[in-house]
Structure 1
């Protein structure tokens, strides 16, 4: 998978490394700001069943 991405990035090695880092940061930002906030209310971590 990573080899496929690396082969399809344009430019010399330094430019590929910078572009790969930018793609990684964009992916992490997508997860943090879109995916995780959408999933969080659907997770059962706040459903406690301890009675007093």
Structure 2
């Protein structure tokens, strides 16, 4: 899968690497900003208190 992704990217190696870095950053940003908060709203957290 990774080899197919690498071969499908245009340009020399340095450009492919730059594109991959930007793509990974975009995916991680989308996950952190939209996907994880949406999933968190679906999962009811346990009401846990820590007492001594």
Q: TM-score, normalised by structure 1?
A: 0.80
- Between Structure 1 and Structure 2, how many residues are aligned? 49
Q: Hey, which of these two has a bigger chunk of helix by percent?
A: 1
Q: Which runs of 4+ in 1 moved over 3 A?
A: none
CA RMSD after TM alignment: 1.8
Gaps of 5+ in 1: none
